[in-house]
Chain A
Amino acid sequence: MEEKNLICINCPLGCPLTVALEGGEVRTVAGNTCPRGDAYARKELTNPTRIVTSTVKVKGGKLAMASVKTAADIPKGKIFDCVRAIRDIELEAPVAIGEVVLADVCGTGVDIVATKNVPAKG
């Protein structure tokens, strides 16, 4: 039996959670004051995911950079690969919110989309 400690992020209470794992499976969650803590601990220890946000260069735009994000959350372990993949992108203005700037980032099946409108210069 393995034990892991984490802090619940659902509310300012920040319950210190103690999770008992067996063979990679969550057996028990303790320390939570509400069901949200239990659900958070299970997700966080079996399949932690995050939305990743960054910026990319824009050529010929009114602004130098456009912000981007993963259209959905991706596995936590792929965050750095994802950021490296985003780093090489250079877009041509105009850029529109929601535009796919990189499809299926790092084999996650998730697209990188623009989160900023950048009109062309002039």
Chain B
Amino acid sequence: MLAVTSAPRIASNKRTVVDARRQQFAKTRHAPEEYPHRLNFYLVPPAGDIALEQFEEWAIARLKVLGELESCQFRNKTPAETDEHMKPVLDKYMRLSSNASRSGEVQDERKRDHYSHWTLRLAFSSTPDLRQRFARLETQLLKLRMASDDARERRAFIDSLSMSWETLSEEEKITWLDQLKAATNLKRDEEESWFKVAWEKVPELVERRQCLLKRGVAYVHVREQQTMVINEFSRQLETGLELAARNLPRMDEDNRLSPILHHLSQSFVAPDAGYSESSSIGDITTPTAAAIDGLSQHFPLCMQNLHRELRKNSHLKHFGRLQYTLFLKGIGLSLQECILFWRKSFKLIADDKFKSDYLYNIRHAYGDVGGDSNRRGRGYTPYSCQKLLTEPAPSAGQTHGCPYRTYNPDNLLSLLQSVGVSDRTLLQGVKEDVGKQRYHIACNRVFDYAHKAQIKKVKDEGLWSASELDLVLHPNAYFKRSFLLKNLGKVKAGDLGVDGAFGVSSGGAGEKMEE
């Protein structure tokens, strides 16, 4: 299975597992694949011949689409905005016409869609991280496409799937009608039609109390079918990816595919706001515990806030400590200096208590202690904006997370004012962004404002390329860029060049290594 024979084609088929021997000696049959539906669950891998170029080309096109989709997510776009953004992208790279369109391209388009999915599935099965991202994005893509599908064709597609649901009988309907209506919040104009599944199949409906539960059976309104289909897809894709991962090392191929697959998976990693070692300023200067106060002017609001809280209370709670420690590690503070920093900052705490309660966690974050994998991976990776924006909100007394998200707008504005951001139009903009949940657009807005002059300078003089000034997606990237901009004169532009010029070593310091 997943075997790629000498010909440039993917002959990976689940069914080969069952009678591998027979398959091995059988003549390869390539019945041209038929795609009756616009949408595809990608259950059966493709078995036809394609050229190596197509193999790569199609995959890159799909990758482009997935990348755009992910950036929509990072920018916290609403579904409607995402839809709008993705429409031209999809049309350009991965058009899929409906049956009704009568386009001659229909089958080719669907074939491309099918093959590219399976190519990327191979490319992204190698690590749990990639698998998870791939599954998430593919699921979103399906959701997007399903929403744009013609209603009749969508129904035909859903009916073609074999899902284990049972429609409610009239009798049951009459018995439970009131409860059914109340539980599923039925609108007046909706049809009175429900179906039954085991509640485990629809956890998200249970979670939001949007279905009726009776002895472990969920009574779900038909309108939820789409969501269920999508969940089922996501579930099957995840298992499929894991299966692919297990068989990847045994892939039978002649060294033409693996470079392509490797390259594909690499380019998927890049757009993520992962931490890169180049965000440390270790090359320029060695930060010390004593220097943090001075450097804190370059910190993004999330870290500045932690710093201020720390100075105010001489203490931070666990998650705040963790977030801040990792950030400090990310800017290049050594373990020794970091311990020194915390020791001095927790000035109300006795040495003994500090040693027993806090020291271990700092060392653990740096990978100085702990299990083997922790040490080898040199501790945890500094948190990205995405991580800070998706983790559970802090409860009372905790100060970690992204203030743009966790503070209510009024408190946020007074916090911003207290760190010296007072421009009225800017604050208004921040308020709007936050209202639309575009937290890190707000953060970038503040950054751009605070570094207006310097950004203009590097732009006008052409010192930095546009890509070096795109959205900040990582607190450490924020810091680094701020530090460089504010020190433009001190560090010669020639040595600087921002990212890259510092000899980015492969595999960031904090990246956890896969085992």
A-B interaction: no
Interface, chain B (partner A; CB < 8 A): none
Binding site for B on A (CB under 8 A): none
